[in-house]
Amino acid sequence: MKIGIIGAGYVGIVTGVCLAEKGHTVVCYDIDSTKMRALKKGRVPFYEPKVADLLSVALKKGRIDFVHALNQCLSYSKIVFVCVGTPPRENGSADMSYFYKAISGIAIFGKDVKNSEFIVVNKSTVPVGTARDVHKHFRKCFTVVSNPEFLREGKAVSDFFNPDRIVLGFEDQSEKSAGARKQLTALYEKFDCPKIITNWETAELIKYASNAYLATKISFINEIAALSERVRADVKTIAKGMGFDPRIGKEFLRAGIGYGGSCFPKDVRALQSLSRGKRYSFKLLKSVIDVNNQQRKIAVEKIMSAFSKNRVKRAAILGATFKPDTDDVRESASIAIIKELHIRGVNVRVFDPQGSLNARRELVEDAVRGVDVVFLATEWKEFLCLDWKKMKVLMRGDIIIDGRNVLDQRELTRLGFRYEGFGVSS
């Protein structure tokens, strides 16, 4: 198929190169012309495993192109994916300006195209009711399909090719929807996973509900961790014992400094904002957010308690990104902790294999040399196999605080470190 993509950000590029790998031909458009030129040369503006390689292959095979004009993208295909950002406003609601700018541009073009054949597939995370609102204003220009994405940063390519499910939302009943359903069914035919065919609102809410529930699991296990520290229990063993129950599952039950990134914080707040707009108090979500914010404060207090009085306080933070295998520091718990430590007068050194904000020191040894405490904020594989015996020689102090509960406590203790995690016995 010939496919257009509007928005060359994380979702747009991953979707584009993966569809090209599947044999489709793709044309991408973004308002950032500098980004378009870089992508034409095979340079990806973010770090995500395998994406650069897929882009290189797609360019060589002529299956993907990047254009500077919206009409160039739209005239190429009858199926266009909208993958633009919907960043949060201060009140938690989604900023839809980029989305509606893209939709308006499509509508102007779509007036001259037979609407039963022109399909706009929305992958942007949007408030419930958006597709119906777009249909109300632009139904003569195109057919709307809701197709939320479930890509995890660091595992996006694998998630695209091996999805847990594919969600497609259409208008309840119409001839145009039947045509769009046929086209999208054909596009996803070879993906071996459940396909959920539903209406627009349900598809839109599935995305928000999924991310909010995963955030809830994280906040729940962090509450259990806080209780565990008070009753001499081990939260890692508790999580393991819980996870064997198939009704609960093992994922997202690791205590630590909480969730971050471009999705969970934004989507939880957006769902809370949506609920307020519908005069419904979603009390659970407030608690999820409060607990997540609390974890960062707990982390800071753990670090501050490690310092001796009357001397310069030095700390090394290992990890700036919100999770490993990405360069994304948006809503990163690590960044929030670093900022608070600076306010409290701590000399902070940061090392991250991919993170920005000057966190990429050439050697991790440079970060830990002469510090009182090392705080693990991101569970990069590089940190799990560090030569901790060497690290201890370089450090001034002997305290390791594990913000992700992933280090070998027994081995670190054997080497003479004082280990502290979240919800585990020191």
Active-site position among 18, 83, 263, 385: 263
Interatomic CA distance for residues 115 and 132, integer angstroms: 16
Q: Which CATH number fits domain 2-193: 3.40.50.720, 3.40.50.2300, 3.40.50.410, 3.30.70.260?
A: 3.40.50.720
Residues 201 and 209 sit within 8 Å (Cβ to Cβ): no
Residues 106 and 73 sit within 8 Å (Cβ to Cβ): no
- Read off φ and ψ for residue 207, nearest 5 degrees: -65, -50
Residues 6 and 81 sit within 8 Å (Cβ to Cβ): yes
Q: Do domains 2-193 and 212-420 have the same CATH topology?
A: yes
Please report the DSSP string for 72-135 in residue order: HHHTT-SEEEE-----B-TTS-B--HHHHHHHHHHHHHHTTS-TTT-EEEE-S---TTHHHHHH
Please report the DSSP string for 299-359 in residue order: HHHHHHTTSPTTS--EEEEE--SSSSS----TT-HHHHHHHHHHHTT-EEEEE-SS--TT-
Three-class DSSP category at 216: helix
Residues 83 and 12 sit within 8 Å (Cβ to Cβ): yes
Query: Domain extents for the chain?
Result: 2-193, 212-420
Thinking of the domain 212-420, which architecture would CATH place it in?
3-Layer(aba) Sandwich (3.40)
pLDDT at 309: 80
pLDDT at 426: 73
R_g (Cα) of the chain, nearest Å: 24
378: Cα separation from own chain's centroid: 14
pLDDT at 59: 98
pLDDT at 358: 46
263 has catalytic annotation: yes
Interatomic CA distance for residues 194 and 318, integer angstroms: 39
Residues of the chain short of pLDDT 70, as ranges, are: 112-116, 173, 175, 310, 355-362
Straight-line distance from the first to the last Cα atom of the chain, in angstroms, rounded to the nearest whole number: 58
| Count of CA atoms in the C-beta half-sphere (13 A) of 155 | 8
Model-level pTM?
0.92
Interatomic CA distance for residues 205 and 224, integer angstroms: 28
Print burial letters for 100-120: b (CB count within 10 Å at least 16), e (below 16): bebbebbbebbeeeebbebbb
CA distances from 206 to 154, 166, 210, 258, 265 (A): 22, 11, 6, 22, 16
Sheet holding 399-402, edge to edge: 347-351, 314-318, 373-376, 399-402, 418-420
pLDDT at 76: 86
